[in-house]
Structure 1
Amino acid sequence: MYFRGELKNGIKVIMEKIPYIKSVSVGVFINVGTKDESENNNGISHFIEHMIFKGTEKRDAKDIAKEIDNLGGQMNAFTSSEYTCYYVRVLDKHLTTAVDILSDMLNNPKFSEEDIANEKRVILEEINMYLDSPEDVVFDMIHEIMFKGTPLSFPVLGTKETVKNLDRKTLIDYYNKYYRPDNMVITVIGNYNEKEIIDILNNYFSRKPSCKNIVRDKSSSLPSLKPCILGKQREFEQVNFCLGTEGIKRDNEEKYSLYIINNFFGGSVSSILFQKIREERGLAYSVYSTPVSFKNAGIFTIYAALSNKEILNVARLIKEEIIKFKKNLIGKSDLLKLKEQLKSSYILEMESTFGRMLEIGSSELLTGDALTLEEVLNKINKVSLDDIKRVTEKIFDSSKFNIAYVGNISNIEDTNAKLKEIFFS
């Protein structure tokens, strides 16, 4: 059972008390991410996330780190395509101190020129690290082609050029535009005093005045689903291959059918792809499928890391298994087992206060309707064989396939032509 409320300045709050544990997780979700960026300022959402940890007038960066360490707590943040999250996990007796630190960081960042210059160097190294990860590179490529023409095609970290060009005024203007009460959700999960918690949050978070809602273009996040193949030559040891197709957006109940299909097709060690490509043929170490849901769109991806000599063989196997799967759909007994598997994994994920905080906070921020554990389990139970058939036809429509790969491929044009023949002929 969730408690929903609102602070004096309009910040939405959603909380769940778990009295039998000794910890509490607090998350502050800001409705800002890559989706709000342009080609010129790409990476700014992530850059500001870094700057929030660089200190305030009251605390410098070292003070923040020390205070959290002294509590024995954990504090971190991340930026995604759709939102930015700052979170802290501490013992329940340290809740007020943790909220004080978190609110000070978010409400009073310094944005000093020295810190900005230093953090540019840090983030440029982060980009270098990312570019050395072929798995990350190929997923950026699939987003680039599937969301072409929209901000969701941009990398979360930005590019080296856009990061270098960010200045203090640009950062502060962007911060002031998005870090505001109407654009935030605070989530508190764990053991807390129900009589005191709203007063604590109001005391530290309601100092920032309320303002008018941000107007967004809701259509800008919809993906382009025209078939496309993008290959890049890089001196990696393996080829990293990704097939992307239409998925299910975040607030569409068909996503539960997709989760079931995913577990059966490529999302588990007993799945079709893992067993066929890795266990039976030994063609890849890492092979899996995964659904990604955004507020206004969704994609479904199939990934494999393999020898450059095997890319076409693995592509043929993936295509064969897709065809077989469409002809021999999940049966009644398998559906029951898959529902239990999905429900179990969801329950285990929600056992963690962090996992619970993340799921509840992001859902409340993006859809305004975070479901309880029982509500999610009921929706999984309601998935029918007809639902599975309908979603299968949707995601495995080859006219919407997009392919990206990166690795040591000698002839990109020839490989593209052969992949086109495999998937689109």
Structure 2
Amino acid sequence: MYKRIKLENGIRVVCERIPYLRSVSIGIWVGTGSRSENPSNNGISHFIEHMLFKGTDNRSAREIADSIDSIGGQLNAFTGKECTCYYAKTLDSHADIALDVLSDMFFNSRFEEKDIEIEKKVILEEIGMYEDSPEELVHDILSETVWEDNSLGFPILGTRDTLFDINKDKIKAYMNERYLPENTVIAVAGNFDEDKIIDTIKEKFGGWNVSGKGSKGIENAEFKVNSKIKVKDTEQIHICIGFEGIAHGSDELYPLLAVNNVLGGGMSSRMFQKIREEMGLVYSIYSYPSSYRNAGLFTIYAGMNAEHLEKVVELIIKEIKTLIKEGISRDELEKSKEQLKGNYILGLESTSSRMNSIGKSEVLMNNIYTPDEILKKIDAVNLERVEQVIKRIFCLNKISFSIVGNIKKEIDIGKIIDV
């Protein structure tokens, strides 16, 4: 069972005690990411995430790492489009150390100018590494393409230009606007003494009060029919085809997930079996839905030799047309639902994944569904709801795409759709 409490200053605490395990995972979730940025500070959420590991008033960067390494734990963080998380996983007997280190990083980081300049170089290398991975880059370009001129399309890492403009004043201003108690969730999952850990959280975080004004709500992101090609000297061509998806928190995500399993969600899916296994035209092909607040995206990815590009796109469109015309069978639906349930339950068998699940749900939706509630939502998916979601998502006159690779000629997907 989950326990949810709210501290007097507005911080939400969500706990799930799992007494038969010997680990505990603790995460500090802040409801801010690249979607909360603007064209002049893009990348600052991710930059701040890096800087919290660079030293505090009480610990050097080395001492932060040693504090958790010396007890056999893990300390890390990640930034997404809509949230940032700082987390530690340790033995249950060391939960107090994890909270002490995390709270020290969160409140006492120094943000020294020399560290800021060093970290700019590190993130520049990260951007360079990402640009050298076209199979990853093409997904980011699709986001930029479908949400052009909206912060949801911003790259999480930022750009070289925006990175150089980040300084201590900008960091402090952004944190005063976004790092607020009411925008923060502390999630704990694993084996812990409930009263003790809540008392410790109150001690570490209860006195946090910020005089910042807060920030305006998120803008709606309108899906745009668009295309973008990045010419790059690569052996393979990488393409992402995008449809408007379903927003975070909608129950229609479950029939879409069921459809995704059948279309391109795994090795037994239609696209994988037809285009890779039977025809050998691609090395990798898959599909997946992404959901955000008030927005969503359904993506199909394929990587192939340049000479096969048009044929692969033609086959993908053919599979989508078949899906629109014939839907999926009852057997496919039942198999897909079992896949969803299995993947979901297996994904909850570690304290870090449980902490991720409850923390993200609370910070983005202010709500947490129990595993039983999730399984009921999957079970409630039927052929009628599947048909409705297929009609809603797969609109062939609302397709966007991105391509990365050594493109020699113009690609007209509109013509291919009419094949």
Provide closer, same or farther for how the CA distance between residues 336 and 20 of structure 1 changes in structure 2, counting only shifts above 3 A. Answer: same
Please, which of 410, 414, 418 is the counterpart of residue 420 of structure 1? 414
2: CA distance between counterparts of 1:244 and 1:424?
17
2: CA distance between counterparts of 1:319 and 1:213?
49
Deviation at 1:51, TM superposition (A): 0.4
Provide closer, same or farther for how the CA distance between residues 270 and 326 of structure 1 changes in structure 2, counting only shifts above 3 A. Answer: same
Q: Are 1:206 and 2:206 counterparts?
A: yes
Aligned pairs for 1:226-237 (under 5 A) are 227-237=225-235
* Amino acid in structure 2 at the alignment position of 1:279: E
The alignment's C-alpha RMSD in Å is: 1.3
Aligned pairs for 1:20-169 (under 5 A) are 20-169=20-169
Who is 1:223 aligned against? 222
Q: Which 5+ residue runs of structure 2 have no aligned equivalent?
A: none
Q: What secondary structure sits across from 1:261 in the alignment? A: helix
Alpha-carbon contact 1:398-1:424 (below 8 Å) kept: no
Who is 1:361 aligned against? 359
Q: Deviations for 1:166-208, whole angstroms, at most 9, x for unmatched residues?
A: 1111111112221221110010000000221110111112231
* Amino acid in structure 2 at the alignment position of 1:311: L
2: CA distance between counterparts of 1:121 and 1:357?
32
Who is 2:191 aligned against? 191
Provide closer, same or farther for how the CA distance between residues 135 and 223 of structure 1 changes in structure 2, counting only shifts above 3 A. Answer: farther
Q: Which 5+ residue runs of structure 1 have no aligned equivalent?
A: none
Q: Deviations for 1:214-242, whole angstroms, at most 9, x for unmatched residues?
A: 34334x242323x2222121001111000
Q: What secondary structure sits across from 1:268 in the alignment? A: coil
1: CA distance between counterparts of 2:62 and 2:182?
30
Alpha-carbon contact 1:33-1:45 (below 8 Å) kept: yes
Please, which of 397, 401, 404 is the counterpart of residue 403 of structure 1? 401
2: CA distance between counterparts of 1:99 and 1:297?
34
Deviation at 1:47, TM superposition (A): 0.4
* Amino acid in structure 2 at the alignment position of 1:138: V
Who is 1:296 aligned against? 294
Alpha-carbon contact 1:49-1:84 (below 8 Å) kept: yes
* Amino acid in structure 1 at the alignment position of 2:288: T
1: CA distance between counterparts of 2:418 and 2:174?
43
Alpha-carbon contact 2:361-2:367 (below 8 Å) kept: yes
Normalised by the size of structure 1, how large is the TM-score? 0.96
Normalised by the size of structure 2, how large is the TM-score? 0.98
Q: What secondary structure sits across from 1:403 in the alignment? A: strand
Provide closer, same or farther for how the CA distance between residues 75 and 409 of structure 1 changes in structure 2, counting only shifts above 3 A. Answer: same
Q: What secondary structure sits across from 1:323 in the alignment? A: helix
2: CA distance between counterparts of 1:216 and 1:24?
35
Q: Are 1:347 and 2:341 counterparts?
A: no
1: CA distance between counterparts of 2:348 and 2:216?
31
Deviation at 1:212, TM superposition (A): 7.2
Deviation at 1:286, TM superposition (A): 0.9
Alpha-carbon contact 1:9-1:210 (below 8 Å) kept: no
2: CA distance between counterparts of 1:216 and 1:25?
31
Q: What secondary structure sits across from 2:347 in the alignment? A: helix
* Amino acid in structure 1 at the alignment position of 2:257: Y
Alpha-carbon contact 2:221-2:295 (below 8 Å) kept: yes
Deviation at 1:213, TM superposition (A): 7.2
Alpha-carbon contact 1:152-1:221 (below 8 Å) kept: no
2: CA distance between counterparts of 1:399 and 1:352?
42
Q: Deviations for 1:108-157, whole angstroms, at most 9, x for unmatched residues?
A: 11010010010000000000001001022111111011111210111000
Alpha-carbon contact 1:10-1:210 (below 8 Å) kept: no
Q: What secondary structure sits across from 1:162 in the alignment? A: helix
Q: Across the two proteins, how many residue pairs are aligned to each other?
A: 419
Alpha-carbon contact 1:147-1:221 (below 8 Å) kept: no
1: CA distance between counterparts of 2:346 and 2:34?
30
Alpha-carbon contact 1:244-1:302 (below 8 Å) kept: yes
Larger deviation: 167-176 or 298-307? Answer: 167-176
Alpha-carbon contact 1:29-1:83 (below 8 Å) kept: yes
Deviation at 1:352, TM superposition (A): 1.6
Who is 2:372 aligned against? 374
Q: Deviations for 1:239-296, whole angstroms, at most 9, x for unmatched residues?
A: 1000000111111100000110011100010000110111001111111001000011
Alpha-carbon contact 1:188-1:357 (below 8 Å) kept: yes
Alpha-carbon contact 2:176-2:212 (below 8 Å) kept: no
Q: Deviations for 1:312-343, whole angstroms, at most 9, x for unmatched residues?
A: 01000001111111122112232222111110
| Percent of residue pairs bearing the same amino acid type | 45
Runs of at least 4 residues off by over 6 Å: none
